[in-house]
Amino acid sequence: MPPPLLRFDGVICRFGPVTAVGGVTCDLAAGSFVALVGASGSGKSTLLKTVNTLVRPSEGRVLFGAEDVSTLKPARLRRRVGYVFQGVGLFPHFSVAENIAIGPRLAGEKLPPARIAELLQLVELDPAFARRMPDELSGGQRQRVGVARALAGGPELLIMDEPFGALDPVTRDALGRKVRELHERLGLTTVMVTHDMAEALLLADRVLVMDKGALVADETPHALLAGAGGAVAQRLASVPREQAERLAAMEDHA
């Protein structure tokens, strides 16, 4: 078995009296698409942010490759870890091209226009978008740019925090599929935080369920649908399953 690309080793995160993550140990293999699912407040976002050190664990460590992320320079680490989040956070005073190129620019590298056009095409945007300003884009277009920005540095790992949470269902579905496709095409390792089990089941090949700061299930989507993973995971999985059953029943009826 190849060594894991990412390893959480007894990670505990405390904020004052609150323990957001209460001791998570888990290995993620290179090339896997992992969904981190849980209710709000379950600690999933906090755990994700320990990967690019936006959050520093109170105890335990996170290994990226063989290195403890806390020993890496944040700027260097974050170039190797693409980050997409619900807020998108495009820099409003930068054009689309400047937004996409910011990571490499910080590392002293200037992205050629051809590379920016290529990145825009990867997320299915016309290369002419490069010159636009963020406030001229729709929500879905902005998040596409956000994904292109995360990919600009050629990361090994893509971490996403509720990346499609603010988008309408159609855009959300399209962008989800796109990301999955890019994951395959670019050979990425992807970790996606979501509270939407349906999204997790459809996109990921491994689903981790968190509850009150602890990892309570670690299953394949297939196993979860088959009833594995315990009570918390099943409560989350039952929603899309029942919805699917009801939809199927309607179709049968017709």
Judged by CB under 8 A, which of 93, 110, 185, 253 binds other proteins?
93
Nearest distance, CB of residue 217 and other proteins, angstroms: 28
- Rounded-to-integer distance, Cα 58 and Cα 212, Å: 17
DSSP 245: H
56 interacts with other proteins by CB under 8 A: no
Give residue for tokens 């680490």. Answer: 77
Which stretches does DSSP call E strand in the chain?
A: 6-15, 18-28, 33-37, 59-64, 67-68, 81-85, 157-161, 189-194, 206-211, 214-219
- C-beta of 23 vs 104, nearer to other proteins: 104
- C-beta of 87 vs 113, nearer to other proteins: 87
| Sign of the Cα pseudo-torsion (29, 101, 147, 85, in order) | positive
Binding residues for other proteins, total number by CB under 8 A: 24
Residue 142 half-sphere exposure toward CB, CA atoms < 13 A: 22
75 interacts with other proteins by CB under 8 A: yes
Nearest alpha carbon to residue 161 among 54, 78, 48: 48
Q: Per CB under 8 A, which region of 17-25, 58-66, 75-83, 189-197 contacts other proteins?
A: 75-83
Q: Per CB under 8 A, which region of 37-45, 83-91, 114-122, 214-222 contacts other proteins?
A: 83-91
Nearest distance, CB of residue 145 and other proteins, angstroms: 11
Query: Where do contacts with other proteins occur on this chain (CB under 8 A)?
Result: 52, 54, 74-79, 83, 85-93, 102-103, 106-107, 146, 149
